[in-house]
A and B are shown apart, each in its own frame.
Chain A
Amino acid sequence: MVKVFVPRDTTALSLGANQVADALEQICGGQDADIDLVRNGSRGLFWLEPLVEVETGQGRVAYGPVTPEDIPALLDQGMLEGKPGHTLYQGLTEEIPYLKDQQRLTFSRAGIIDPTSLDDYVHHGGYVGLRKALARIPQEIVDEVKASGLRGRGGAAFPAGIKWQTVLDADARTGSSPYSKRKFIVCNADEGDSGTFADRLVMEADPFMLIEGMTIAGLAVGADTGYIYLRSEYPVAHKILNEAIARAGEAGYLGNNVLNSGKAFHLEVRLGAGAYICGEETSLLDSLEGKRGQVRVKPPLPALKGAFGQPTVVNNVLTLAAVPFILAEGGQAYADYGMGRSRGTLPFQLTGNIERGGVVELAFGVTLRELLEDYGGGTASGRPMRAVQVGGPLGAYMPESQWDTPLDYEAFSEVGAVVGHGGIVVFDDTVDMLDQARFAMEFCAVESCGKCTPCRIGSTRGVEVIDHIRANQERDYHLNLLEDLCDTLEDGSLCAMGGMTPNPVRSALHHFPDDFHQDRTTASRTPAGEA
C-alpha cells in the first residue's frame, strides 16, 4: 500500500486539493492501485499547492501544483513509484531548496504529519516537552522560557518569560468573582494581519503543538483553563483544532488529570466575529468575556487582571507553539538561533505579488532581499518589485533602499519599520502608493473599536484628506494636514491600531512621494512606478 499525501490546509483547499484527493481515490480505485491517502497539513510551499507527495524508499517525492486533470498522466508516468518524468515532478520534498535551506523549529512537522493524528504527533517528537515540564516545578518551566529569549510573536515582541513570571507571581486569590483563585491561558489566534498565515498553518498542520504549548503554559503559571480565541475567517483551522482538542482529551493530554499528574488543564476554542481590533489583547479579552471588543486602558496589565479579571497569559499562536521545542530541547537550544535580542526563529510569510509564496522559517537576521529574491523568486507578475509592506496593515511600506535591513526587531525599528508577525506583502510597480495610504486610513476607520477619538475620527479624516490630495485640492496644505493628523494618531491613540496606522501612511508618503505629488486631475497620469 502506497502512502499518498494530499494537504488539507486552507491554501491547498482553496486551489482544489479536495478535488485532487477525490480524483486520486476514484482513479486508483478503478485501477486497483492500493493507496493509503493521508490528508496532511501543508509544507507551506504554497506556490506548489496542491502538492501531492508519495512515500518511497528514498523519502517523500513531491508533485505539484497538481490539478485533478493531471492525475491520469501522473499515474501513467509512475507517480505512485515516485518516478520522475512528469513536468510536475519536484523530486524529494526535503531536497526542494526552498524547504531544505530553512531552519524549521516551529514548522518542523508541518505537512509531514496528519494534523489530527496524535500517534503521528507523538511519533515525531510531540509531547516530549510536556513530559519534561510535568517533572519540574513551575518556576523551572518559566526559567527555561526566559533562557530561550522567546519574545511575543504577535508583533509587540515582549519577552514571554517575563510575562509568564508576572502571571506565576500574581495572586489569584483576591476578589469575590466566580473566577477568583483562577488563572487563564489565552491564545491569541486572531491573526488579522494581511500577509500572515503562520498561525493558521500551525493550527491546520500541527495543532497538537499549540495544545501542548498551552498546557505547558498552564503548568508554568498555575492555570487550569485555556482559551484559543480564533478568528471566524479560519473555518478550516476551527474544525481541525476542535478535532485535535477532542483527541487530546480522549488520550488524557487534556482534562482533569493531565497524563495522571493530578494537574488539570481544559482547553476551548472561542470564535471571534470579524473584528480586526480583537487581535489587540485587551479587546480580545473583552470579546472573550462576551462584550464589545473594545480596548482596555492599561494598567492593569492582563498578566495581573486579564480574562474575567484574573491573572492571564495572553500569547500569540507562534509564541505558544515555540514552547514545546523549548521545553524538549532546552531554552539554550532555541536561543542559539537569531541575532541580538531577537532570539530563535521567525516563520516569515511571503505573500502578495510573489512568484514563490509561502512560509519561510529562519533565524532572525536574514535580510528582506534574501527572502524576496532567493526564496520568493521575484514577483508573480514578472514586473519589478516596488514596495514591500512588512508586519501587517500597520507596518511600513519599504522601498528597495531598505531591503538589505536584517529582519530583527531592533534593526527594523531603526529604519521606522516593524517586523510584527512576520508577514511580507510584495507589490509590483503598478501599485499606487496613494491608494495604499488611503486604504490604511480606510481600514482603520472600518476596524477602529471607537473607544478613543484620534483613531475613531482621525482615520475618517485621514481618508478625506488623502482624497483632497488625490483631487489636487490645496495639495501642500493637505499634505501638511496629513502629517499633523498622523502625529495626533500616533501620540493620542489608546492602542497600536490608531498609534501605528501612520506607519503605512507616512512610509508611503516619504518613500514614494511622486505618487502624492502628481496631477491626477488630467487624463494622462503617469503610471505609478514609471514616474
Chain B
Amino acid sequence: MNITATTDVQHKVRHIIADLQHKPGALMPILHAIQDELGYIPDDTVPTIAEGLQITRAEVHGVISFYHDFRATAPGKHTIHICRAEACQARGCRTLERHAQQTLGVDYHQTTPDGDITLEAAYCLGNCATGPSIRIGDDIHGRVTPARFDALVDQLQTVPLVIQAAQAGADRKEDSNHG
C-alpha cells in the first residue's frame, strides 16, 4: 500500500470513529462501518480504533478475531456464503458445498486466485423452507442446485464488467473534475 492510500484509509477510519464513538458500545458499529467502507479491517487501523475509543489494541484485536464476519485481509470482489446448517443439509447442501469448492478450487475462507470470489460458510440464512441457500453480497438465493450455483457464479463473472466500465467512467469524470 503506498503512502497516499494509507493516509486515505486512516482518514476514512478516523472519520468513521468520529461519527460513531458517541454510541454506547460503539466498537461493533465502528468495525462494521470500516468493513463496509474498506471491505476488511486492515491491521494498521487497529491502533487508530483503540486510540479513538480509549481501549487497548488487544481489546480491538480480540473483538475482530472473535466474530466470523470481521476480516483482517481483503476479500475477493464477491463473497459467497454457503449455508451449512441442518435445514440446508436436509436439502443437499453437503453436495452443493463440495461442488462449490471443486469448481472454484478453494476451501472455505479462501479466495480464488484471480481475486474474484471468496467462499465463506454461513450457519443459517433464515431461508430454511427453500434450501439449500447461499448468500452473494446482500442477496440470498434459495433452492440452489449445483447447476444454479454455476449460473449465479457465471453472472458474477460477467455482470461486473459492465459495472466496472461504469465505475471507470465515473472515476475518469471525478479525476477530470479534480484536474
Contact = CB atoms under 8 A, between A and B. Distances in A.
Interface of A: 10-11, 13-15, 46-47, 49, 179, 191-197, 200, 232-236, 270-276, 287-294, 308, 349-354, 357-358, 380, 389, 393, 423, 425-428, 431, 435-436, 439, 443, 446-447, 449
Contacts of A349: 128-129
B129 A194 contact: no
B87 A14 contact: no
B27 to A, nearest CB: 3
A433 to B, nearest CB: 12
Given A10-B140, A275-B67, 20 more contacts: A10-B125, A10-B127, A13-B139, A46-B130, A191-B124, A194-B85, A194-B88, A197-B128, A270-B28, A271-B28, A276-B123, A287-B28, A288-B25, A289-B25, A290-B25, A352-B91, A357-B129, A425-B86, A425-B128, A443-B123
B126 A200 contact: yes
Interface residues of B, number: 44
A11 B67 contact: no
A17 to B, nearest CB: 11
Nearest to B144: A14
A397 to B, nearest CB: 9
Nearest to B66: A292
A270 B87 CA distance: 26
Contacts of A179: 24
Contacts of A431: 90
Given A292-B66, A349-B129, A233 B87 contact: no
Given A353-B91, A354-B129, A426-B90, A193 B124 contact: yes
A247 B113 CA distance: 45
Contacts, number: 160
Interface centre among B31, B94, B129, B140 (most CB of A within 10 A): B129
A194 B128 contact: yes
Contacts of A271: 28-29, 32
A65 to B, nearest CB: 10
B143 interface: yes
B128 A196 contact: yes
B153 interface: no
Contacts of B135: 233
A274 B91 CA distance: 22
B123 A447 contact: yes
A11 B142 contact: yes
A196 B89 contact: no
15 contacts: A15-B142, A15-B143, A192-B124, A197-B127, A232-B69, A236-B140, A272-B28, A292-B62, A308-B24, A308-B25, A351-B87, A393-B86, A425-B87, A425-B128, A447-B123
Interface centre among B27, B130, B141 (most CB of A within 10 A): B130
Interface string B29-70: 101100000000000000000000100000100110011111
Interface of B: 24-29, 31-32, 53, 59, 62-63, 66-70, 81, 85-91, 94, 122-131, 133, 135, 138-143
Given A13-B139, A15-B142, A49-B130, A273 B70 contact: yes
A14 B127 contact: yes
A290 B28 contact: yes
A193 B88 CA distance: 12
Contacts of A443: 85, 123
B66 A11 contact: no
Contacts of B142: 11, 14-15
A353 B28 contact: no
A232 B143 CA distance: 21
B129 A358 contact: yes
A289 B23 CA distance: 10
Given A194-B88, A194-B128, A393-B86, A293 B66 contact: yes
Interface centre among B31, B85, B94, B143 (most CB of A within 10 A): B85
Nearest to B140: A14
Given A308-B24, A426-B90, A233 B129 contact: no
A195 B143 CA distance: 15
B109 to A, nearest CB: 12
A426 B66 CA distance: 32
Contacts of A49: 130
Nearest to A392: B86
B90 A353 contact: yes
A49 B142 CA distance: 11
Contacts of B27: 290-291
Contact of B124 (A46, A194, A308): A194
A191 B24 CA distance: 23
Interface centre among B88, B127, B128, B140 (most CB of A within 10 A): B128
Nearest to B122: A233
A192 B141 CA distance: 18
Interface centre among A235, A358, A435, A449 (most CB of B within 10 A): A235
A14 B123 contact: no
Nearest to B125: A233
A290 B123 contact: no
A352 B86 contact: yes
Given A14-B142, A436-B86, A197 B123 contact: no
A426 B143 CA distance: 16
Contacts of A194: 85-88, 123-124, 128
A234 B139 CA distance: 10
Contacts of B70: 273
Contacts of A234: 126
A495 B28 CA distance: 23
Nearest to B141: A14
Contact of A427 (B32, B62, B90, B139): B90
